[in-house]
Amino acid sequence: MIQQYIDIKKQHQDCLLLFRVGDFYELFFEDAKIGAKALEIALTSRDGEDGIPLAGIPFHALDTYLAKLLKKGYKVAICDQVEDPKQAKGIVKREVVKIVTPGTIIDENLLDAKDNNFMCALSCYGNKAGLAFVDNSTGEFFYTEERLNFESINRIIQKYLPSECIVSSDFPLRTQLTRLNLNISNHEVNDTTIKSFDTLLNQTTTHKAGKEAISLLISYLSETQKNSLSHINKIKFIELNKYMNLDYTSIRNLELITTIKENRKKGSLLSIIDKTDSAMGGRKLKQWLLNPLLNSEEIDHRLNMVESLLEDGLLLKSLKELIGKIYDLERLSTKVAYQTVNPKDLVALKHSLQNIPKIKETLISSNSKSLVSLANRLCALDQLVSIIEQGIVPSPPTTIKDGGVIKEGFNSELDELNYTASNGRNFLAEYEENQRNNTGIKSLKVRYNKVFGYYIEVTKTNLSLVPDYYIRKQTLTNAERYFTDELKKYEELILGASEKIVELEYKLFCEIREAVLECIEEIQNNSNVIGELDCLCSFATLAIDNNYRKPELTVGDETSITNGRHPVIEETIDRKNFISNDTVLDCSDNQVLIITGPNMAGKSTYMRQVALITLLAQVGCYVPADEAKISIVDRIFTRVGASDDLSSGQSTFMVEMNELANILKNATSKSLIILDEVGRGTSTFDGMSIAQSAIEYLLDKKKIGAKTLFATHYHQLTSLEDRYKGVKNYSIAVKEENDSITFLHLIKKGGSDRSYGIQVAKLAGVPAPVIQRSNEILKFIEEDFTAKQDSSATQDDIFQVMSQKAQELIEEVNDINLNDITPIEALTVLQKLQNKTKKY
């Protein structure tokens, strides 16, 4: 057996091999040491202390332990006994029946219902990279092509966060990819393996890099899953220029999917807008949120359907109730393809499909052409529903092995066997009663076990009453077991019928499963439509619950928001207490809004809410505002907060500058840029210089010319409003009383000349002696600054003063009449001018 293990392990060196031995899965040698540590189970040894290292888990607990191994990034090969040990000659035949990796999981117990589990493959052709993504649990498969550039590739990877990445050994950016903490697997395309997928691959003839990635992914999936992969029957090409280009920094900073601090869904934008009633809808909503649309017609198409749902409350309520009755059709389809579907799953599928015609009928009854077109994409599978209805009992067991699954009347042969088995059981009850009466042994029992079959059990105190025709079968401490020729006859009848029932039920179940498999594309199509409808109903419900309004999308450059609100913050506090604010942004007079004010007053909240309202509008969702005219943007860039990136040896300031560099290199005039405290990670003069230069660069129409919200504590930057067209100053309103302040969270026109840092420290609970001393030091510094203004002024102050003095000198020189001045007078004037310049 150990030799058998070694031979199989040689073929799966990159996996932990779970080797089935009786009721356990065993790990041997180095795998045992790794597995014992990862699973926190005992490490023992076979054949004594110096024997082979061994660690084992019960076979029925496989899923629990498998989840732990996958979470830690291990690939696991499941090696099962593939023949009945009773019939085996010599060693039981064993084979690896599946290789489970973080990206190939299909068990819903190991997955989040509303999250995809993507696996990615990367390949290249010429100067292009091909990226293919598949969710093996749903059959969703798509691909795209991008420049062979790490930043571009990383932007796509971070959007879908694959749990595993397959990369060919010659991929040029392989080393850089290791920085992303992906589970990277090696693989080379096996041409023989992918031959059966030619029909699928023919959809990708014009995208050679993409085709390479698809081939790599299909080859890897086929060889690890050892399955036909019939649930993967469509490949979609993602046109990147159809969607807003969101990078990982913006996804994180805007907390679209998870929060920054705790990396949890709760508190994210997704957690607020997700009112979906199905797993399919939940997964699709997340993809919509990460891929806002750029085409105004497509956006309006979604918005108009949401509007139709809002206008008919009964329609919306009916649809949500029906959608809530539909199980996860995508993952049920995958279980059918993998032949892991159980009887309860098929009943769930039946109930789901029974609601499809009802949803279709409800949509057709609406006044919306768009909703009717959605209904026309649904496929009623009445025949399949009928097969399941007639074949499977209403409340079947989970397993098929013990029978009791197929409904009476579905198969005449099965009905006869069930009648025989049922009558046999009735006979046993009557036989037991007759034997008690005939022998006078009142405690006599007819029993059954798998080893001895049916037998008559008599206690030793009654042995004298046992008749001669009883044949002894087994002796126990307190009893004897017997059988009779008549009992043996019925035993063969009952057991024979029972075995045939199980075999026939399994055969019939497989036939029903095959009928489902033939309809898998229609089921998946229904799942896709239900997912879309669920998202639209979610948007409508959100609009009702949170008082959202329909935005107007424009291809122009003006964004105008009236009483806009932050969708997450307003839910965190009482919505009535949230202070709404207006916003006007365009690429002419209101291109860069410089926002000043104290910390904690709401600058970051305000800027983020503008970004989130824009993003929601382009997703096709109503927005938290009284009115919103939104200019479609190609990207949303954010530079909000920063921290050291110790893993790559980058300081806070370096992280900040990297993010700024990314924005200045990639932003266009159609982008929306959020900049918060640029330059604060270095000295005041350096930071302010960088901040002003960045603003000037963003303003320049020949370079970028993008709409920008710029929050800063450098109050000197407010002077830019007078020097550049397109710059507008705004500040956060603050109410001052004595030495205390109250944040009003209201954005008002005009800049602020104070940061209120000490007042904020007081609000935060800094001890009174520290506050008092801070005020003393501040007073000293302000007086010292006034006395030494020339030497301690900020760069902007210096520039303004120098500019003014230079202008005075120029005017004085220009006023000299050279025709009326004598040489002596000229020397006097020159000396006077020289004395003036020495002061500067």
Question: Coil, strand, or helix at residue 25?
Answer: strand
Segment 239-255 shows an average pLDDT of 93
The reply, when asked if residue 598 is annotated as ligand binding, is yes
Residue 423 annotated as lining a ligand binding site: no
pLDDT of residue 798: 46
**Per-residue confidence at 783, pLDDT binned at 50, 70, 90?**
low
- Looking at 432-441, 483-492, 625-634, which range is the least confident one? 483-492
CA-only gyration radius of the chain, Å:
38
Question: Is 602 marked within a binding site?
Answer: yes
For residues 541-546, give the mean pLDDT.
97
Residues 158-212 pLDDT 10s = 899 999 999 987 888 888 888 787 888 777 887 777 877 877 777 777 889 999 9
801 alpha carbon, distance to own chain's centre: 55
Q: Quick one: 75 exposed, middle or buried, by C-beta within 10 A (0-12, 13-18, 19+)?
A: buried
3-state secondary structure of 397: coil
**Which pLDDT score is estimated for 196?**
73
Of residues 189 and 754, more confidence is placed in 189
Higher pLDDT, 534 or 88: 534
Q: Is 281 annotated as a binding residue?
A: no
260: tokens are 């920054």
Q: Please report, rounded to a whole number, the percentage of residues in the chain having pLDDT higher than 90.
A: 60
CA separation for the pair 710, 691 (Å, rounded) = 9
Contact 372, 529 (CB under 8 A): no
CATH of 412-513, one of 1.10.1420.10, 3.40.718.10, 3.40.50.970, 1.10.10.10: 1.10.1420.10
> Hey, what long-range contacts does 173-180 have (CB within 8 A, 24 or more apart)?
173/122, 173/129, 173/148, 176/150, 177/122, 177/150, 177/153, 179/648, 180/154
680: closest CA among 785, 599, 590, 764?
A: 599
pLDDT at 95 over 90: yes
Res. 251: pLDDT tops 90: yes
Give the CB-side neighbour count of residue 351, counting CA atoms within 13 A: 17
Tokens representing 169?
Answer: 């050994």
Judging by beta carbons within 10 Å of its beta carbon (0-12, 13-18, 19+), is residue 589 exposed, middle or buried?
Answer: exposed
Q: Report the side by side order of strands in the sheet with 581-585.
A: 552-554, 627-631, 559-564, 581-585
Give the CATH number of domain 274-381+519-546; options: 3.40.50.300, 3.10.129.10, 1.20.272.10, 1.10.1420.10. Answer: 1.10.1420.10
Burial 271-285 (b: 16+ CB within 10 A, else e): bbbbbbbbbbbbbbb
Pairing label, strands 52-58, 24-28: antiparallel
| Whether pLDDT at 647 is above 70 | no
* Cα separation, 104 vs 187, whole angstroms: 15
Percent of the chain clearing pLDDT 70 (strictly above): 88
Q: Tell me, what's the pLDDT at 648?
A: 47
597 labelled binding-site residue: yes
pLDDT greater at residue 109 or residue 304: 304
Say if residue 421 carries a ligand binding annotation: no
User: Where are the alpha helices (H) located in 202-295, listed in sequence order?
Assistant: 208-225, 248-253, 269-273, 279-290
Level-2 CATH architecture, domain 108-238: 2-Layer Sandwich (3.30)
CA distance 665 to 656: 14
Running DSSP on this structure, what letter comes out for residue 181? T
DSSP letters for 314-383: HHHHHHHHHHTT---HHHHHHHHHTT---HHHHHHHHHHHHHHHHHHHHHHTSS-HHHHHHHTT----HH
Alpha carbons 365 and 806: distance in angstroms, whole number? 78
The residue among 767, 732, 770, 772 whose CA lies nearest residue 749 is 732
- Report the largest interatomic distance among the alpha carbons of the chain, rounded to a whole angstrom: 158
Tokens representing 796 are 């902007």
Res. 77: pLDDT tops 50? yes
Confidence (pTM): 0.84
* Average pLDDT rounded to a whole number, residues 291-302: 97
pLDDT tens readout for residues 325-354: 999 999 999 999 999 999 999 999 999 999
Residue 646's pLDDT is what?
37
Fold assignment, 552-755: Rossmann fold (3.40.50)
pLDDT digits (tens, 9 = 90+) for 503-538: 999 999 999 999 999 999 999 999 999 999 999 999
Bigger pLDDT: 806 vs 676 = 676
According to DSSP, the β-strands at 16-21 and 76-81 are parallel
- Tell which residue, 64, 13, 10, has the closest CA to residue 185: 13
Contact 108, 328 (CB under 8 A): yes
The architecture of the domain spanning 2-100 is 3-Layer(aba) Sandwich (3.40)
Tell whether residue 607 is among the known ligand binding residues.
no
Residue 693 host element (H or E):
helix 684-699
Token look-up 């934008």 returns 269
